[in-house]
Amino acid sequence: MKHLLKPCLLKLGLLILCFSQLTHADNREREQLKRSIIKIYTTAAAPDYFNPWALLNAKQISGSGAVIKGQQILTNAHVVANGSFIQVQRHGDAQKFRARVKFVSHDADLALLTVDDEAFFDDTRALTFGKLPELQEEVTVYGYPIGGKSLSITRGVLSRVEHQYYAHAESYLMAGQIDAAINPGNSGGPVISNGKIVGVAMQTNNSNGAENLGYFVPPSVIDHVLEDAKDGVHQGFPELGAVTQSLESPSMKAAAGLAPDQEGALVVRVFEDAPAAQVLQPGDVLLQVDGFDIAADRTIEWREHQRTNYHFAVDQYHVGDPLPVRFARDGKIYNEEITLAATPPSRSLVQGEKFDQRPRYYIYGGVVFVPLNMNLIKRWGGNWHSKAPIEYLYARNQWSSPEQQELVVALKVLPAPVNLGYHDWKNWIIESVNGEPIRDFQQFAQLMEASESEYIELKDGAGYRMVLDSAAAREQQPLILQTYHIPERHSLGLFGALAERGEEVKTGDAGLGQIQ
């Protein structure tokens, strides 16, 4: 019996030793991974769209990131948006290093940072990317949520993968959902599975009493951005340029010429300057995109038993790529290719929110003019849906066209003798200058600048008018700028070469005294 016991004890000892070595190696691997999780400190000073020549008070923002190949740090775009000073810090270190943005995709809410001091990357390893896990598989989120300085590690289960609206830029892309909250500071941190990055923590869902629901940017979106970043030129996700609606109504399906067993998405609009205009037309039924069958609810089966919006297939391509499509027209089936183009700034008359750029503005006779965009609308705060002017909100549902690509707003009036009678006018959308329709903000400013009329007449869609004396406006402009402490009468680069010529209304020409 004793002879048998000795080999058993020996085997047990070897098993304990192996287990100890494996545990030690596993702990070492986890610690090495932690060294590649970065805390990001951003000083952000966003423009004040109520006073477009000024900045809002700077804010201190913190976020998370991960070291990836090429001595880069992958994080969220909203962590560094409008950032004027960025620092990064490794896990377990007290020292902070200066960082800068190398590439940013606000649509995908992703950014790549780099650190010029290469010593920062010592003792870190570049994390690699893995495939998106299956539903109900466990993932781990690494980051630095507010409320402490140390690294936080939370676990959750992948519960859903489908298209969602990204809160940062209101884009509509694939996103993963996990049953773990993404708290402020966690943003930009990696979602890890089997030691590899399978997502980037992005936002949380606080609506309708939802608890512990977080969203992350999945590998398909990350891969697209990394490919786009290779040449350093941001092209973003291409557009198809067609607006569709579901075909779940049997009557609508029959009217569209489909058989009972056919499904697809009804094309209701094709933008004339979009790539789809060469192939599709309103009334067509989009049956397939890149080989994926489109269901009546406009979804495709992108993975077995998992469905999402058919734009997923478009999002896998880049600008200039040919996209195979199959569609029905008047009962006939066609197979064509659409060469995808870059998405324009906006298809709406109200351009989406922009970051890392200064607002455009133009001042004439003390009237401050700006283009209508989401940056301006969101200056009404978190409740902008109910607080912003109703005309602004209504305009969000209007499509742009070659004839009218942008709306111009008389934001406010800086009281002066030249604008007497209009001192309480604000948030006024105008449509014409001296009878000339306004196409966009650039053209509007050029119309104002080039006018040789004695009076400038501005008119809105309802026929209301504002008339300004041209000579008085030019004469009083310098004093208006000085009185209200405005450095320039228009935003930098608004007129291009025209802005470089000598101007008689520069701030430096203003006389002394106040407007009477």
Bin 481: left if φ > 0, else alpha if -120 < ψ < 50, else beta: alpha
Number of CB atoms found within 10 A of residue 22's CB: 10
Task: List CB contacts of 486: < 8 A, sequence separation 6 or more.
Answer: 53, 363, 480, 507
> Is beta strand 428-430 parallel, antiparallel or unpaired with respect to 408-413?
antiparallel
3-class DSSP string for 83-133: EEEEEEEECCCCCCEEEEEEEEECCCCEEEEECCCHHHHCCCCCCCECCCC
- The backbone torsions φ and ψ at residue 228, rounded to the nearest 5 degrees and listed phi first, read -65, -30
**Known catalytic membership, residue 150:** no
Q: State how far Cα 129 lies from the chain centre.
A: 23
Total length of the chain = 516
Residue 18 CB neighbour total at 10 angstroms: 10
Active site includes 224? Answer: no
Region of 162 please: left (phi>0), alpha (psi -120 to 50) or beta: beta
Name the helix (H) or strand (E) containing 73. Answer: strand 72-75
Q: What is the 3 state secondary structure string of 275-333?
A: HHHHCCCCCCEEEEECCEECCCCCEEEEECCEEEECHHHHHCCCCCCEEEEEEEECCEE
**Cα first-last separation, the chain:** 112
* Options 107, 109, 284, 315, the catalytic residue: 109
Residue 75's CB is within 10 A of a number of other CB atoms, namely 32
187 among known catalytic residues: yes
135 half-sphere exposure, CB direction, 13 A CA radius = 11
The catalytic residue among 62, 105, 187, 348 is: 187
Distance CA 343, CA 240 (A): 8
Specify whether the CB–CB gap between 382 and 200 falls below 8 A.
no
The residue annotated as part of the active site, out of 62, 78, 193, 311, is: 78
Residue located via tokens 């494996």:
22
DSSP 405-425: ---EEEEEE---GGGTT-TT-
Q: What is the identity of the amino acid at 455?
A: Y
**Quick one: which of 383, 356, 360, 386 has its CA closest to 373?**
360
d(CA 219, CA 24): 30
Other C-beta atoms within 10 Å of 439: how many?
17
Strands 83-90 and 97-105: antiparallel
Nearest to 145 by CA among 30, 42, 37, 63: 63
Per the CB < 8 A criterion, the answer to whether 151 and 37 are in contact is yes
Residues that are catalytic: 78, 109, 187
